[in-house]
Structure 1
Amino acid sequence: MSAASCLLTEDQFLCSICLDVFTDPVTSPCGHNFCNKCITGHWDVNVQCQCPICKRRYNTRPELHVNTFISEMAAQFRQSVQQKTSSSSSEQQAAKPGEVPCDVCTGTKLKALKSCLVCLVSYCETHLEPHLTVSGLKRHQLIDPVENLEGRVCTNHDKLLELFCKTDQMCVCTLCTYSDHKAHDVVPLKEEYEGKKAELKETEAEIQQMIQKRRLKLQEIKRSVELSKERADRETAEGVQVFTALKESVERGQAEFIRTIKEKQRTTEKQAEDFIKELEQEISELKKRSSEVEQLSVSEDHLHLIQSFSSLNTAPPTKDWTEVSVSSPSHEGTVVRAVIQLEQTLSKQTKNIFETELKRVQQYAVDVLLDPDIVHPKPTQSNPRQKVNERYVCRCVLSKQGFTSGIFYFEVQVSRWSTWTLGVTTESNVKGRITLSPKNGFWTVCLKRRGWYFAPAEPSVLLPLKSQPEKVGVFVDYEEGLVSFHDVDTAALIYSFTGCSFTDKLHPFFSPCLNDGVAIHTRDIECQIT
């Protein structure tokens, strides 16, 4: 029996109705064999009995008899297939998560080798064999294993999705072109596949360009951190040298000085680490998307490519890194503020430190030109008939240029005026009645009559200066929120506004008020600011 079965081809053991190995095979009067259940069910749904193979018709349903020979041969063939399946299953790998399993396997699902677009079933290597040997099954279209095969069939007409409707941007079957998509722009699935594949190549190139830009930005940020650290190290070394010279009396100040600088550096490094982490995350996501696009680009599965195109054609959400940078923190003023706290015990050392600090901030000196178009000539009067005493007219003027970031320093010769106000503000604040205070956008120091110096803070601070300044230097660190005033001749610190929050453009501001009857012109002020 075993030798006889070897003389028969495998398709001779398959029922032409269910395409599976015979179960209870019976023979029709015309000599063709079928499963008893298959031929009985076929004749139950047809009015006239007819052979599914030769189409011979019978007026009455023929009496069917079991074909013993075919039954034995089919049983032996089934046993042989099961043994072969068992042997192959031990060699093949079970489907892992994310892999397409065989739809025919019972128990442990093996990894599918191919999917059939006609049967809408995925097969492992063993269960795929009939499609490779049986003549009727060889004509079926096989593709790499995919999930959701039902999604490749038109739900309206139960036919394969073989066309693409450009009008409605969806896959359709041939019957759809005669109904809902009649007169639409319909092309073969392969043609649309080629077009989408070309677009995916462009998308991949764009993603690679985005990755390159972010790599360059990554290097820029890392370099910024290195420069910031070098600057912090220099500041720390200089500060340590100063505090070491002051010995035990400045140990607490030295520790605070180092802590402040390191805290700023840690903040800078933390900001950079966040940027780096975010950039690396975006690069990882873009690489992942690039890999997906690359895999999709080489896919020969037309429908899968088209259905996945919309989700992979665009790059994942990313940040615009063009203007992103890591600002190096400013340490100017740190030594000065630390030493000021020790002024009572370190008065002999203070002057030297102030001179050093002044030289440091003077490195950021800018040329300031006053704008004659931004002048507040006199107070706003609610009653136009009210007489204004010119002796008490308060004039003020701003610089032409403004600053929205960074560090800058300028000096003003104030000795020619008996009263004055000097500092920085925003252009929008110099309108109508002026009330000096940080809350209203003014960071200034003032000289009142009788030699009273004060800072219009909240509340105002009286400044007991030891000498009358002739030239005042103004230092501003926008990011640090610092505005400090220096007596240029004595190198003494007059006052500092700290912890400021700047959001608008800052302009150097000057007002020789009250003018004591002296005619003040913009050209007179301009030459005093350098």
Structure 2
Amino acid sequence: MSAASCLLSEEQFLCCICLDVFTDPVTVPCGHNFCRNCITQHWNVNSAQYRCPMCKKHFKTRPELPVNTFISEMVSEFRQSAGKKNSSGSEIQVAKPGELACDICTGTKLKAIKSCLTCFASYCGIHLDPHMTADPLKRHLLTDPVEDMEARVCTKHKKTLELFCKTDQTCVCSQCTVSGHSAHNIVSLSDACEAKKAELEQAEAEIQRMIQQREKMIQQIEHLKVHSKEDAEKEIADGVRIFTFLMQTAERDLNELIEMIEERHKKTEEEADGSIKELEQEISALMKRTVEVQQLSRTQDHLHVLQNIASLTNVLPTKNWTEVKLCPPLYEGTVIKAVDELDEMLSREKKQLLHEAKLKRVQHYEVDVILEPNTANPWLVLSDDGKQVRCGQVRRDLPDNAERFSLYATVLAQQSFSYGRFYYEVEVARKTDWTLGVVKGSVNRKGIIPLSPLNGYWAVGLRNGNEYLSLTSPVISLSLNSRPQRVGVFVSYEEGLVSFYDVDAAVHLYSFSDCCFTEKLCPFFSPGLHHGGMNAAPLIISPVEDTDQI
């Protein structure tokens, strides 16, 4: 039996229970065939009666299940034939649901392996053989299986769409080129496809760029979320700490006010009680004199009167109470004065606490900054760990690469930033000249230009040992109460903010605000010239100390 005939009658080898090709086929007494396992399980489930699933014939007892050798051999041959390949070497397979079937097969449809754009039909491996062997059919245009053949045919001329009109940007047939598209730019489908694929590559590259841009935005937003949460937690902690201090201070001053008022009241009471006691004693003495005077005035003994009147008319040793001023205790204004003093003290403390809290918040964005030797001016000397820079006394022989500052005694950090916030601290002790800040990555490193935001510099500095400057345009002098020993630099890229702090005094020095950053920023350091050893001390990038305690 040939493979074709075997496959075309596949329905003859299907079990009506499992709807698949027989496995171990057996025959029941009525003559119908089933897989042994299928009919056995069927009767196990319906053990009350034994019927044939096909004709419903009833059997009194469970029938024996003899093997149908003929069907078994046919199934075996069918399975072997179904696995064979045609003359073109393609494996013959039954079309599964969703797969394109052969247009020629009758009965069981085989899977199409090619479509002919000349015949407008799809063929399985068996029916494709003529296209592979017959010379007239070899000239037909074969392609991978195509389901919608009509879409590949010119609706006007009923010919294959095998050309492309670049003028109208549409697929055409050979007849179209001599009619409606005669003067147009016509190319083959392959050439047009290659050109379109080049456009697709460009489109894909643009899509990838947009994906990367959005992934970067996601990273920035995730970064923002993390820092927003951390900032909120720190802000709450600072608020609790500051308000707790303010409440404790207010409570302490209230207790001191109450204690002072109570002590004043107690002193007033003691003075009043002393005066009352003294007055009561004088009243008692005066009352006693009154009794004596009354008794003497009532006596008829003239001699007695004359002898004692002198002692009774003498003035008693009493205080002149008319000169004593009785003033109530002065509490008025005590509370107001205490509140004013508290307010003044709280204002000082609040200002200091807010400065400290603000510094503490920006210190949270500390980054590890390391100097980049390839950018250092030849007069500068860097430490091995990239954390210190000073101006030497000898100009080193270094290659004048594009990154190096050739005129200014400046060096950049290895790190650059194009979003987010960052902070670092620099020790400036024992120096008479220095400049610190951030610069644009594209800043001019060879020419002499003013250091200002207009030229890509955001910086502050020290000149002549006591002149602190903000390098704006024009330059602004900074009036400081103390000499900074350590300067903090904070940048918020999206806010366009660059701020400088005296770390030890927790004082804000200066801020550049409303800046418009459009490229990466780099920390930069200029230790100033040597000045005969007066400015020999290095600038030192130092780690933030005790960020959790101010």
TM-score normalised by the shorter chain: which range applies? 0.3 to 0.5
With structure 2 as the length reference, what TM-score do the two structures score? Answer: 0.36
With structure 1 as the length reference, what TM-score do the two structures score? Answer: 0.37
Structure with max Cα Rg: 2
